[in-house]
Structures are given as C-alpha cells and as structure tokens.
Amino acid sequence: MADVLLSNVTAELPLKTIDANLILYVIFIIVIAYVVTWLLSFILMHISERIGWYRTSVTMIIPLLKLLVYLVAIYYIIIAIIEPSLTQMIAFSGLFGAAIGFGLKDLFADIVGGVVIIFEKPYQIGDKVTIGDRYGEVIDIGIRATRIRTPADEQVSVPNFTIFVQPVTS
C-alpha cells in the first residue's frame, strides 16, 4: 500500500531544469545555513560566558540548533528542485515523518533525556552516580548519552533515556 501511495505521490513531481540560477540558489542556501549555524554557536557561547550558563548545557543545545538549521536548508533546496504541489508535500511529509519517527524513536528518547538533564540537572560532571546498575563518576554529558568512569577505570556510555526508566542516585 505504501508503494502505491509513494508511486502516486512521486509520479507527478515536476523536476525543475537545473540551470545556473538553481545552482546559485542552492549554494546561497548552503552558505546562509553555514553562516547562521556559525553565528548561533558564537552568540550562544558568548552569552553563556557572560551570563554564567553552564557551558555543558550550551554545548549540548548547539548541535540540535545546527541540525534544525540544516534541515530547514535542505527543505528549501528540495522545494526549489522538485516544486511539489501542496498535496504531494503533505503526503511526502507524512510518510517521511512516520519513517523518521519509527526509525529514530530511541535516538529521540535519548535527546529528550539529554534536554531533561540540561534543565533539571539530576547530576553534573564530576558527580558520583548510580544510573540503573552502573556506578561511577560522570565524565561527560552529551545530548545522546552520559559517559561515566567506573571504579574499575572503565568508561561506560549510558543512554540518556535511561533516566526515565531506571533509578538515578547521586
């Protein structure tokens, strides 16, 4: 059924002829996306140093903002090349969203866990914690996982969604 729907959606896509204007537009969008991500990184790091935000929190948010900017840039490039109708855009967005949702649900759970860790701060770098059955010192808090060093001097990555399903003590 999905094959039939997808073939109906893509059968009528009018591809725009690739000319110098389209190439310049794509380059322009890529350059703008790069400049925006660079400015976001620079401004957020500067603000975090001035106001005293935790640098870890900012460094965890910056990759998400960069990803969002690049996804918007890719969206504009695809729209410029394919020029889909509104119905085709809605159908494609639904199929794409469902595929991404099912395929990346664990990653999204880790990212949500990382955001919760940023704002609630159940533990910080240097804390001794027990997360589920893992005990050790927190050495890094990333957007996807927290790394701890066990008493046996092993580094263990614990997915951030674990804070929702396992007890965390510090």
CATH number at residue 71: 1.10.287
- Above 60 in pLDDT, residue 152? yes
Residue 134 shares a structural domain with residue 103: no
pLDDT at residue 170 in the model: 79
Distance CA 97, CA 95 (A): 5
Residue 144 shares a structural domain with residue 98: no
- Above 70 in pLDDT, residue 123? yes
Six-digit token string for 118:
């940023």
pLDDT at residue 169 in the model: 83
Q: Is 133 in contact with 83 (CB distance < 8 Å)?
A: no
Residue 42 shares a structural domain with residue 59: yes
Q: What is the mean pLDDT of residues 27-33?
A: 95
CATH of the domain at 142: 2.30.30.60
Long-range contact pairs involving 124-128 (C-beta distance under 8 Å, separation at least 24): 124/54, 124/56, 125/56, 127/170, 128/170
Q: Where are the beta strands (DSSP E) in the chain?
A: 128-131, 134-141, 145-149, 155-159, 168-169
Which of 98, 116, 134 is the endpoint of a domain?
Answer: 116
* Partners of residue 134 on adjacent β-strands: 131
Instruction: Flag whether the pTM goes above 0.85.
Output: no
Residue 76 shares a structural domain with residue 40: yes
Residue 14 shares a structural domain with residue 53: yes
Residue 29 shares a structural domain with residue 77: yes
Q: Which amino acid is at 40?
A: L
Which residue range forms the structural domain that includes residue 156? 125-169
Residue 108 shares a structural domain with residue 134: no
pLDDT at residue 33 in the model: 96
The number of folded domains in the chain is 2
Residue 112 shares a structural domain with residue 38: yes
Nearest alpha carbon to residue 62 among 73, 52, 47: 47
Distance CA 27, CA 71 (A): 15
Residue 102 shares a structural domain with residue 160: no
Number of H helices, E strands in the chain: 6, 5
The more confident residue out of 91 and 7 is: 91
Residue 110 shares a structural domain with residue 136: no
Residue 147 shares a structural domain with residue 74: no
Q: Is 99 in contact with 136 (CB distance < 8 Å)?
A: no
56 CB burial (10 A radius; 0-12, 13-18, 19+):
middle
pLDDT in tens, 34-89: 999 999 989 888 877 777 656 666 777 788 888 889 988 988 888 888 877 888 88
Q: What is the mean pLDDT of residues 96-116?
A: 82
Nearest alpha carbon to residue 96 among 30, 29, 6, 8: 6
Residue 129 shares a structural domain with residue 109: no
Strands 128-131 and 168-169: antiparallel
